[in-house]
Amino acid sequence: MTLRLITAGESHGPGLTCIVEGLPAGLALSHEDVTADMARRQLGHGRGGRMKIERDSAEVTAGVRHGRTLGGPIALQVANRDYANWEERMNPWPLEEAVPEVHLPRPGHADLVGTQKFKQSDVRNILERASARETAARVAGGALCKAFLRALGVSVHSHVIQIASVHAPEPSRMLTAEDFAQVDESPVRCLDVDASRAMVKEIDRLRKANESLGGVFEVQAFGLVPGLGSHVSWEERLDGRLAMAICSIQALKGVSLGDGFAVAGLPGSQAHDEIFFSEEHGYFRETNRAGGLEGGMTNGSPLLVRGAMKPLPTLTKPLRSVDTSTHEPAAALRERTDSCTVPAAGVVGEAMVAFVLAEAYRQKFGGDHIDDVIEAVRAYERRIGWHSS
């Protein structure tokens, strides 16, 4: 059983479309399931003026009837309210008067390489699709995947652990799903109160200096059965699929699974999670350095994935570039932008992790109806003697 997620649309076009294909019939959905994460994606200290215009909401146009999935592709439509201000520049059809082209590619963006690859002279033909605005559609589709996972007892959460030079302290214990209940109350979606305040100050300081900021977010998933993914083929290893999903997010330049790079500097006795057994819990581990992944498969511990985001390439004080029409030195394009979107990127990370996990469940357990999936999962849990702690 294959699960697919496809998006279409441009940043300032009429809207964004997401199609999710492969979810079982009978899955109960609410409007809140589809739209809650879209509002969360717009949160975060450091967002720009665009978020004051958009009030993201996804309308279901296919695949759901009376709150239940039908088993066919689900289509979601996200309107761009800002299109009213861009209708002339982004109209799908030819206009009587030509619209001025953009010839000022931004360092760090898809602008220049995209025009070369697709034989375009207007940078806007590239930047509109390359924009992180596209992630609004991904978050809408990921919300469906999260609803599917919830029906199986799985939850997916995120928090920010670094913005620029400010790091949140490592937690003194393994986190639980309950620890994330109030994360969105932080202006930067950080679980540590002191670090949250320091991150806000860092954003304010660098924003005044016309800088953008990157950082690191962490996604955790709880309730996963052991054995999602596989060790037998490289493309089936869940580690690789998760890494691809995270690095597919705009401006993401690094991914860490579990303790990732930290364990590279440790001796083996300190790098791995020892295995224990009790009648009450079955097999379990007291540490989670592997991030819930061993041999390309989930091992029953919470999944832990981190994404490293670079500073955004659209700066209020543009970097040096070249005018592609004259080849003369010029300042890069300056458009409305955010100073920091790491908190929002964490929500996008949730969506992408949820998609990969939902796809893994669909591949392992199949099922045309959600009841078939649940029955297959429970039978597997009984066979291996596992239950979520």
For the chain, give every domain's residue range. 4-384
User: Do the Cβ atoms of 112 and 324 come closer than 8 Å?
Assistant: yes
Q: Rounded to two decimals, what is the model's pTM?
A: 0.95
Q: Is 204 left (phi over 0), alpha (psi -120 to 50) or beta?
A: alpha
For residue 66, the Cα-to-chain-centroid distance in whole angstroms is 28
Q: What percent of the chain has pLDDT over 90?
A: 87
In tens, the pLDDT along 296-353 reads 999 999 999 999 999 999 888 999 999 999 999 999 998 877 899 999 999 999 999 9
Q: Across all residues in the chain, what is the average pLDDT?
A: 94
Within the chain, residue ranges assigned H as helices are 31-41, 50-53, 87-90, 111-117, 124-130, 135-151, 193-208, 238-247, 268-271, 342-365, 370-384
User: 73 is written with which tokens?
Assistant: 């592709």
Question: Considering all CA atoms of the chain, what is the largest pairwise distance in Å, rounded to the nearest integer?
Answer: 76
In tens, the pLDDT along 42-90 reads 888 875 655 555 578 899 999 999 999 999 999 999 999 989 999 999 9
Inter-axis angle of helices 342-365 and 31-41, nearest 10: 140
Extract the residue ranges of the chain whose pLDDT is less than 50: none
Q: Which option is the CATH number for 4-384: 3.30.365.10, 3.60.150.10, 2.60.120.620, 3.40.50.2000?
A: 3.60.150.10
User: 159 is written with which tokens?
Assistant: 């928090």
pLDDT at res. 53: 55
Phi, psi of 126 (to 5 degrees): -100, -50
Element (H, E) at 73: none
Taking the C-alpha atoms of residue 226 and residue 229, their distance in angstroms, rounded to an integer, is 9
pLDDT at res. 45: 86
pLDDT at res. 47: 59
Inter-axis angle of helices 135-151 and 342-365, nearest 10: 50
SS3 16: strand
pLDDT at res. 43: 80
User: Do the Cβ atoms of 89 and 154 come closer than 8 Å?
Assistant: no
User: Do the Cβ atoms of 246 and 305 come closer than 8 Å?
Assistant: yes
Taking the C-alpha atoms of residue 117 and residue 282, their distance in angstroms, rounded to an integer, is 54
Positive/negative CA dihedral, 22, 28, 33, 34: positive
pLDDT at res. 147: 98
Q: Please choose, from the candidates 272, 16, 244, the residue with its C-alpha nearest in 3D space to the C-alpha of residue 138.
A: 16
User: 135 is written with which tokens?
Assistant: 């992630």
Total residues found in the chain within this entry: 389
Q: Please choose, from the candidates 375, 374, 378, 370, the residue with its C-alpha nearest in 3D space to the C-alpha of residue 24.
A: 370
Positive/negative CA dihedral, 288, 294, 300, 303: positive
CB count in 10 Å sphere of residue 289:
17
Positive/negative CA dihedral, 378, 382, 384, 385: positive
User: 350 is written with which tokens?
Assistant: 């949730």
